[in-house]
Amino acid sequence: MKKKLFLMISFFVSFLLVNAQSKSKNSQQPNIIIILVDDLGYEDVGFNGCKDILTPNIDKISKQGAKFINGYVSYVVCGPSRAGLITGRYQDRFGFGRNPLFAPNDPEMGLPLSEETLAEALKKSNYKSVALGKWHLGAHESLRPLKRGFDDFYGFLSGGHQYFPDEWTLKDEYEVNTQFDAYRTKLLRDNTRVEETEYLTDALSREAVNYIEKYKDDSFFMYLAYNAPHTPLQATEKYLSRYVSIKDEKRKTYAAMVSAVDDGVGKILNKLEALSLTENTIIFFLSDNGGPENHNASNNGVLRGGKSDVFEGGIRVPFAMMWPKKIPSNIVYDKPIISLDIFATAIAQTKTSIKSKNKIDGVNLVPFLTGESNETPHDYLFWRKFDANDYACRDLDGEKIAFRKGNIMLFDLKNDISEKNNLIDIKPQSFDFLKNIYFNWESEMLDPIFLGLGEDSEYSKLHPDRFIRKNNPNKN
């Protein structure tokens, strides 16, 4: 009996030691948090010079790490931009060249299953992954977060959402009758619809804090995709009251929405600090595309154009990163980087040597920020808006070609960040060189594999059962 008891105790102690060692090993890996906002203007954060909107918590990310003054996203609107970020690959490589429609019966309307998400990649190194907020990578059950590597999800599947719970009147995706009805669906926790009572941005911030607490003893990846400050412009009095000095009502509401995000970022930073997780947590902050100034009163500052443009205002975004354990504070990094680099940076820091399923286009940014490398992360960056036949390409020195609405342009971003001076007649050889670079890249891309937001009516005619439930009515 004593021998049996001794063996049981020995086994239990061994189990605890192995478990503790496993947790210790995982804890050496950095936690990774991506805070992605929606339609934020380039000059609407303090670290990019904003004067009328206060963003002290967002600015801490920049102050404690690096701000990228030439930080780009890979597409001019949200859906494809998110597909690029979550895979580390130009979205046109796999035909995600349009904003996907809300189509809960269509397994092809979203991120193809051939693509590996960052959550799936990090799972190879025992990360727990949480997706919060806006998904917009497919509403079909096979394309949702829990099927794409995430352990938890709290948010919505569509490209936007109403912010006040009393407007969430549709119990699920099959009460939707039109594309934008999806803005009024109840939120999902994993695969179950829930009753929420808080203003949407606050609810997402609350959930972020709760999941940090849940996974504090694990290596975790959090993809926090706020839909603010995307329209509809809606804010609570708590945030509106901070901006009585802003007389333009649209700008005032927009400012309040950004302020709500900033409060949420503050809660996340405070929670990390309370749990002694700050030092070894990588945080990225960026917008999914440039601000649509006329629609939501955002401000892209000196940048030309905005959301949906291949001009700088559509693709250059507020972009910051911190990792106190490795990256010095107050870095201003001026070489061009892109959202695709987030994937590469994340998997390069894990203890397991993660090999991505597909060849990625991003690069690990850490050596460039620590001074280990004096090279440039990218020689060229590319953008393509397939349906408009618009495209752009810039090199590391700031020369950029743009083809937009039939106009061909060449800019020198180092001396003309506002893209006012078309140099094509002065430097035709530079234009021809960059055009050849671009078309070599484009030859590797695919045409869009699904109809997008611009083909909403056409898609509905082809799919009259678009919103008719086909599965078990009790399965959600």
Q: CA dist 70 to 133, 307, 310, 334, Å?
A: 26, 17, 15, 6
Please work out, in degrees rounded to the nearest 5, the angle formed at the alpha carbon of residue 21 by the alpha carbons of 19 and 23: 70
Cβ count near 473 (within 10 Å) = 9
- Secondary structure of residue 275 in the 3-state scheme: coil
Among candidate residues 136, 161, 230, 378, the one labeled active-site is 136
Cβ count near 37 (within 10 Å) = 29
- Secondary structure of residue 142 in the 3-state scheme: helix
Among candidate residues 50, 78, 230, 393, the one labeled active-site is 78
Residue 3: exposed, middle, or buried by beta-carbon count in 10 A (0-12, 13-18, 19+)? exposed
Q: Within 13 Å of residue 78, how many CA atoms lie on the same side as its CB?
A: 26
Return the DSSP state at 332. E
- Spell out a b/e string for 43-69, using b for 16 or more CB atoms within 10 Å of the CB, else e: bbbbbbebeebbbebbbbbbbbbbbbb
Question: Is 78 among the residues known to form the active site?
Answer: yes
DSSP per-residue codes, 393-427: EEETTSEEEEEETTEEEEEETTT-TT-----TTT-
Q: CA dist 89 to 102, 339, 434, Å?
A: 23, 9, 21
Rg (CA), the chain: 23
Tokens representing residue 84 in the block = 């690029």
Q: Which residues belong to the active site?
A: 78, 136
